Structure 1
Amino acid sequence: MKLDQYLKWSGLVATGGEAKLRIQRGDVRVNGAIETRRGRQLHVGDAVAIDGRELLVTPGSGGRTNA
């Protein structure tokens, strides 16, 4: 799943437009690093953080596996 889709799916943002804006502004971190690519592919085990909330990408949450 792409980062912008994950933010909306997980409820960390309300809309896709908000996800795009927040990513472009540098408000989102993936594995502790600021991520500005909204199309960044997430993988199981990635940690996504925004506004002091952090979620771990799990197999059931849309993260890609290498299996």
Structure 2
Amino acid sequence: MGEAARVVPIRDAGIRLGQFLKLADLIDQGADAKPLLATGDVTVNGEVETRRGRQLVRGDVVTVAGPPADTATVG
């Protein structure tokens, strides 16, 4: 991870991974989450995550493998 992760603020204490991917502009549409997660190209805190409903909390780091790779932190 060469660049610092950008922080994406959320309103509540947590957010589901599928919703966060869209909010952080890591995907274009909500429907893009399921096929992206199936590829194994999404990590949460360095661990591969395939569950769209994974609950994220502030401080979690989500990375989508590239090119170009993109990283966002739940804020």
TM-score higher than 0.5: yes
Q: Which has the higher contact order (CA 8 A, sep 6+)?
A: 2
Partner of 1:62: none
Relative to its length, the structure with more strand (as a share) is: 2
Q: How many residue pairs were aligned?
A: 58
TM-score (norm 1): 0.81
TM-superposed deviation, 1:53: 1.0
1:4-23 pair list within 5 angstroms = 4-23=18-37
**Alignment check: 8 A CA contact 1:24 1:38 kept:** no
Gaps of 5+ in 2: 1-14
TM-score (norm 2): 0.73
Matched, 1:55 2:72: yes
Relative to its length, the structure with more helix (as a share) is: 1
2:29 and 2:56 mapped to 1: Cα distance?
Answer: 19
**RMSD value, Cα:** 0.8
Q: Calculate percent identity across the aligned residue pairs.
A: 45
Gaps of 5+ in 1: 59-67
Pairing partner for 1:45 from 52, 59, 70: 59
Partner of 1:64: none
Partner of 2:17: 3
